Chain A
Amino acid sequence: MGAAVTSQNRGGTEPPSDSVSAARLAMAELLLSSEDPVECARVTVDWLVQRGGARKAVCALIDPESGMLQDVAASGVPEGQLETLHLALEQPDHPLVFALAGRDPVSLARQGRRNGDPWRHDFLAIPLPLSEKREARQGLLLVSPGRCEAEAKWAAELLGQKIARLRATAVIVEGEHRLQRERELLVNIINASPDPILLTDPEGRMIISNARADALFSSKEGESEGRHRAVTLNNMLFSAALSQQAIDESGAARRELLLVSPSEGSDLLFELLSSVVQHPREGTCVVSILRNVTDLRVATEQIEENYRLLKLAEADVRAERDRLDLIIDSVADPILVTDPSGKILLMNSPAERLFTAPASDETAGAERAVRSNDAYFSSFVSNLFLTGAGLRWRGEISLTDPSTLEGLPVEAVAGKVLSEHGEVTAVVTILHDRTEALEKGRLYEQLKAASEQLEEKVREATAELVRRNELLQRQHLELEQASQLKSQFLANMSHEFRTPLNAILGYTSMLLQGVSGEMSPPQKNKMLRVDSNARHLLSIINDILDISRIEADKMPLHLEEFELGSLISELLAELEPLIQKARLQVLTDVPEPPPEVHSDRQKVKQIVLNLLTNAIKFTPQGQVRVRVRCDDERRELRISVEDTGIGIAAEDQDKVFEDFRQADSSVTREYGGAGLGLAICRRLAKMLDGRVGLQSQLGGGSIFTLVIPRRGKRR
């Protein structure tokens, strides 16, 4: 049947009748007056059913967006059947898709695939429009029954062309609309930019400019003169910048551009970023973006200034820090700065010596010492926070010197460093070596102990001294008592000697005087010996008594004025018997007038007597001379006794003045005497502030000289 239809369609080109022509005209007019494809389809479907002889007609168009076939107008076809027209065109074996691609109307009765296909009975499918190529097909026109094939083909052609035209127009309009929207968007975008944006042609004329650019580069009528001038100046500056850039470089470039604000007249600094683009019509154009960097410049300068200040401040801080480092390093005591957790932030070199392990791996001991020091120190700092006591804390820590591993007792003084909010930001601790202090303390203790010992010793010594003093005093007292006793004893002894001696001498004297009758010469001779010995005994007793009196200081001085001549005469008179007996010549040599002297007459007499007695005793023959001389210069008196006797050897001359001494012990036996005479003389002379001197030589006689002051002084 399809072929028949085809032949019929080809036969449809025959000229239509007048009524048909009128109907076609009405239809064409209707289509011409409509601009809507769906309306056109409706008009066409209605026209076919009403005037074209079709019983049923459906128009389905390809939806340009989804690409699917969709019914748009139908007449005499139920709704459910119309839904089967919704087809995707990617099914080439579908009768409708097939029909859509063909060059002729297709009878669906032959082409129906399934029995249930509603379109397989008598629908004829005509592509819209049939004359165009497959790609330009707009849809299908389905008509039943097929007797009106010619009218349907004509209407399909007309509708197809009309819809193709309408759709093409719609696409253009749509494109223009889209173009307009995009342009507006673009303008909005570039206007939204805070930076002026311009597109200029090769001559520098502005093609596009945004609102910010307009504010700088364009002016309107009625605006101020200043603004006009500013805009003119800006345009010149901008053009100059662009041309300069064109000369300098090609492509995108960045430079600074100083413009004038037309509204305020102030300088504005822009960064000009321009790049060359190819314009389809204008050729090579330049897109320029200006960025206002006036504030940025100011900000930059501010930042640079700030940076410079910061650098200076930093240098200051560094210098300060260096100085601080120098200072705390120069402090001999270790100084540590820790954060509140006890971490060491800063320490000086003395502290480093204690709290930093030595670089060399000398000893494990040093490291151990450092760790121990660290632990002690941390404990100290944490104590500071545990006790919370004030800002300062003082304590003692036993550290170890890592270099010597010796104990290092230190006193630690810690201070909290507070922020302005009163929070502890750091703790500064100064350690002070207490070794010296402890040593000093120890030495002080030793000193104190020694001092106490000394005091004790002094006390003891003082007590001993007192004891000894008391002893001495007692001894002195005892001595005095003893001396007293001795003197007393001597006095008593003297008394006890004298009492019997007195009787002996008395009776002897009486016998010799013949009180009891004359004695025979031998008796008298013997009695004389008794007398002589008794007298000798008496002289010894007297001498001893004299010495003991002098020693006991009980020999009083009786100073008086006397004349020496008479004293000598007196002596010679007393010694006359002795002189007679010795048969010696005794001469005196006393100056005229005889000198006077102030002294103890008795003692002077005793001394001279003694010297004369000795001289007589030790001079077997010759003479004895008593010579008195005054030494006016020394105010002294010299009484010398010279003899021509046996003399005294030089080595014995000192001895003769000693107690109980004679130059030769044999002398005592030969000459008698106790040997006390010169000893007494010397003592007596001393009492008179004088002396007894001796010049002698053995066998050559002797000269004893008593020297006394002319005027003796009472002692």
Chain B
Amino acid sequence: MTGTNDAGRKPLVLVVDDFADNREMYSEYLSFSGYEVIEARNGKEAIDAAQERLPDIIIMDLSLPIMDGWEATRRLKADERTRTIPVVALTGHALAGHSKGAKEAGCDSFLAKPCLPDQLVAEIRRMLATGKATVIKATKGAR
């Protein structure tokens, strides 16, 4: 049930959430599930962390202080270095508009809170298995 990648190292997951209990809960469970986890509390920190560590996948809460998740995703997707990293939007905003807005911003997947930690892990696995193809496809489409 570990998330080891092809290179044999643990996949790096960036969990972005301003609500510490959720962020730490997911971090703990992802660590428990065999992922390496880094955390960010807002969009700005998320960009900095992503550029610094280039994680395999980013779990992005959308309602964030300083810089929200949509803006951060746009910037990540606009950045050559971070563009290929799949972004899974995870938000307590359950309205349809939010997922749409998230897709427009460049999110590759969308999960609504409440999202049980095992559901999140299932999505991360799915994304890591297929996500890059999606991104590449999207990159191709962009070209």
Contact = CB atoms under 8 A, between A and B. Distances in A.
Interface of A: 491, 494-503, 505-507, 509-510, 513, 515, 538, 542, 545, 549, 554-556
A336 to B, nearest CB: 96
Top-9 shortest CB links A-B:
A498-B92, A495-B92, A503-B21, A502-B114, A502-B113, A506-B25, A498-B113, A509-B116, A499-B92
Contacts of B138: none
Nearest to B97: A554
22 contacts: A491-B95, A494-B93, A495-B63, A495-B91, A495-B92, A495-B94, A498-B94, A498-B112, A498-B113, A502-B92, A502-B114, A506-B25, A506-B29, A506-B116, A507-B21, A507-B25, A509-B117, A509-B118, A510-B117, A542-B94, A549-B96, A556-B96
Contact of B94 (A494, A509, A510, A513): A494
A503 B26 CA distance: 9
Nearest to B32: A515
Contact of B26 (A494, A495, A506, A542): A506
Given A498-B114, A510-B117, 10 more contacts: A491-B93, A491-B95, A494-B93, A499-B19, A503-B25, A505-B114, A507-B21, A509-B118, A515-B28, A556-B96
Contacts of A545: 94-95
Interface in B58-117: 63, 91-97, 112-117
A510 B92 contact: no
A41 B113 CA distance: 208
A549 to B, nearest CB: 7
Contacts of B118: 509, 513
A510 B32 contact: yes
B96 A501 contact: no
A510 B114 contact: no
Interface residues of B, number: 23
Contacts of B26: 506
Nearest to A506: B25
Contact of B113 (A491, A499, A507): A499
Given A498-B92, A549-B95, A554-B95, A503 B117 contact: no
Main secondary structure of the interface of A (DSSP, over half): helix
Interface in B1-39: 19, 21-22, 25-26, 28-29, 32
A494 to B, nearest CB: 6
Contact of A503 (B19, B32, B63, B112): B19
B117 A555 contact: no
A538 B115 CA distance: 11
Contacts of A542: 94
Nearest to B31: A515
Interface of B: 19, 21-22, 25-26, 28-29, 32, 63, 91-97, 112-118
Contacts of A510: 25, 28-29, 32, 117
A555 B96 contact: yes
A270 B16 CA distance: 165
Contacts of B93: 491, 494-495
B92 to A, nearest CB: 4
Contacts of B19: 499-500, 503
Most chain B CB atoms below 10 A, which of A491, A502, A510, A554:
A502
Nearest to B25: A506
A348 B25 CA distance: 121
A549 B97 CA distance: 11
Contacts of A506: 22, 25-26, 29, 114-117
A508 to B, nearest CB: 9
A549 B92 CA distance: 15
Contacts of A503: 19, 21-22, 25
Most chain A CB atoms below 10 A, which of B94, B97, B114:
B114
Contacts of B91: 495
Most chain A CB atoms below 10 A, which of B32, B93, B116:
B116
Contacts of B25: 502-503, 506-507, 510
Contacts of A502: 22, 25, 92, 113-115
Nearest to A490: B95
Contacts of B29: 506, 510, 515
A176 to B, nearest CB: 178
Contacts of B63: 495
Contacts of A498: 92, 94, 112-114
A212 B71 CA distance: 163
A31 B22 CA distance: 219
A500 B95 contact: no
B17 to A, nearest CB: 9
Contacts of B22: 499, 502-503, 506
A496 B93 CA distance: 9
Contacts of B116: 505-506, 509
A515 B26 CA distance: 12
Nearest to A548: B95
Contacts of B92: 494-499, 502
B55 to A, nearest CB: 20
Contacts of A495: 63, 91-94
B100 to A, nearest CB: 9
A48 B63 CA distance: 213
Contacts of A496: 92
B117 A500 contact: no
A500 B25 CA distance: 11
Nearest to A487: B95
Nearest to A494: B94
A507 B95 CA distance: 25
Contacts of B115: 502, 506
A495 B96 CA distance: 13
Nearest to A535: B114
A538 B113 CA distance: 10
Nearest to B118: A509
A500 B22 CA distance: 8
A94 to B, nearest CB: 191
Contacts of B94: 491, 494-495, 498, 542, 545
Nearest to B93: A495
A657 B32 CA distance: 45
B78 to A, nearest CB: 27
Nearest to A537: B114
Contacts of A499: 19, 22, 92, 113
A503 B23 CA distance: 9
A515 B91 CA distance: 24
Contacts of B96: 549, 554-556
A139 to B, nearest CB: 192
Contacts of A513: 118
A513 B119 CA distance: 13
A538 B114 contact: yes
Nearest to B62: A495
B95 to A, nearest CB: 6
B111 to A, nearest CB: 10
B94 to A, nearest CB: 6
A509 B117 CA distance: 7
A498 B93 CA distance: 8
Contacts of B117: 506, 509-510
A537 to B, nearest CB: 10
Contacts of A505: 114, 116
